[in-house]
């Protein structure tokens, strides 16, 4: 752990180089999360990179892209819990994908219809629900279930659906 009061200059244990595919802007990391010795990085080129904390110098071990994942601003964030990664998107959707990059070829699950503008932040609640907040100034909690809007206690909360 770095000591904030230390007079020594911190030296990184390991570092990675920028991916060769990023020769021009729009390269920039908007969010980092760690999970199970992995670092997941969301980039402004609308991709999520997986890096090993043990072999960081080797660069990304996998790169995920999806048509619904659009990162037009530096405000879009990632969240991670258990075996899932969640991402906001400039398309107004939430994208869920496996934290095991070997499954990234299967695509992701898109939670749509809950926001009318960019989804800038996502989080996991203690019960496993996915929470999202968008530039439409709406906060959503997404739960597993029938996909039907409950009539009681949901007035003005709207609804969304899953697209895989």
Domain that holds residue 51: 29-145
Residue 94 lies in a domain: yes
Report pTM: 0.79
Place of tokens 């932040």: 121
- Left (φ > 0), alpha (ψ -120 to 50) or beta: where does 82 sit? left
3-class state of residue 59 by DSSP: coil
Asked whether residue 127 carries a pLDDT value surpassing 90, the answer given is no
Residue 72 lies in a domain: yes
Residue 33 lies in a domain: yes
Asked whether residue 155 carries a pLDDT value surpassing 50, the answer given is no
Q: For residue 34, what pLDDT is reported?
A: 94
Overall number of domains in the chain: 1
Residue 62 lies in a domain: yes
Q: For residue 149, what pLDDT is reported?
A: 40
Q: What percent of the chain has pLDDT over 90?
A: 55
CA separation (Å) from 77 to 64, 106, 153, 154, 158? 15, 22, 29, 26, 23
Q: What percent of the chain has pLDDT over 70?
A: 77
Residue 24 lies in a domain: no
Residue whose C-alpha is closest to residue 69's, from 51, 91, 41:
91
Q: How many other C-beta atoms are found inside a 10 Å radius of the C-beta of residue 122?
A: 26
Rounded to an integer, the average pLDDT of 9-27 is: 67
3-class state of residue 144 by DSSP: coil
Residue 66 lies in a domain: yes
Which pLDDT tens digit goes with each residue over 82-116?
Answer: 999 999 999 999 999 999 999 999 999 999 888 99
């Amino acid at each position: 752990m770095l000591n904030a009061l230390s007079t020594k200059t911190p030296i990184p244990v390991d570092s990675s180089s920028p991916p060769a595919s990023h020769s021009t802007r729009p390269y920039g990391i908007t969010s980092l999360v760690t999970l199970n010795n992995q670092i997941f990085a969301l980039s402004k080129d609308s991709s999520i990179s997986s890096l090993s904390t043990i072999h960081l110098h080797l660069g990304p071990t996998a790169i995920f892209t999806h048509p619904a994942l659009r990162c037009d601003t530096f405000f879009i964030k990632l969240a991670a819990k258990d075996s899932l990664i969640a991402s906001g998107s400039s398309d107004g959707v939430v994208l869920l994908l496996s934290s095991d990059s070997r499954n990234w070829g299967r695509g992701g699950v898109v939670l749509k219809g809950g926001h009318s503008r960019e989804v800038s932040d996502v989080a996991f609640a203690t019960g496993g629900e996915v929470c999202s907040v968008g530039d439409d100034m709406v906060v959503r909690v997404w739960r597993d279930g029938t996909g039907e809007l409950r009539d009681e206690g949901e007035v003005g909360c709207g609804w969304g659906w899953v697209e895989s």
